[in-house]
Amino acid sequence: MKTNKNLAIILFALLLSVASFAQKNQKRANMNVVNPKFDATKNIIDNLTASQNYSSLAKVFKAAEFEQMLREEGPYTILAPSNDVISRSSENLEFMTDPKNIHRTKDIAAYYMIPGKWYASDFGKLIRMSKGRGEIKTADGDILIITLENSIIYLTDAKGNKAKLVFTDAIQSNGIIHGIDKTFSPN
pLDDT digits (tens, 9 = 90+) for 120-171: 999 999 999 999 999 999 999 999 999 999 999 999 999 999 999 999 999 9
Tell me which of 64 and 17 has the higher pLDDT.
Answer: 64
Contacts of residue 172, Cβ cutoff 8 Å, sequence gap at least 6: 38, 40, 42, 43, 44, 47, 74, 78
With beta carbons less than 8 A apart as the criterion, state whether 12 and 19 touch.
no
Helix (H) or strand (E) holding 68: helix 67-72
Q: Flag whether pLDDT at 13 surpasses 80.
A: no
**Overall fold of domain 37-180:** FAS1 domain (2.30.180)
Domains of the chain, residue spans: 1-31, 37-180
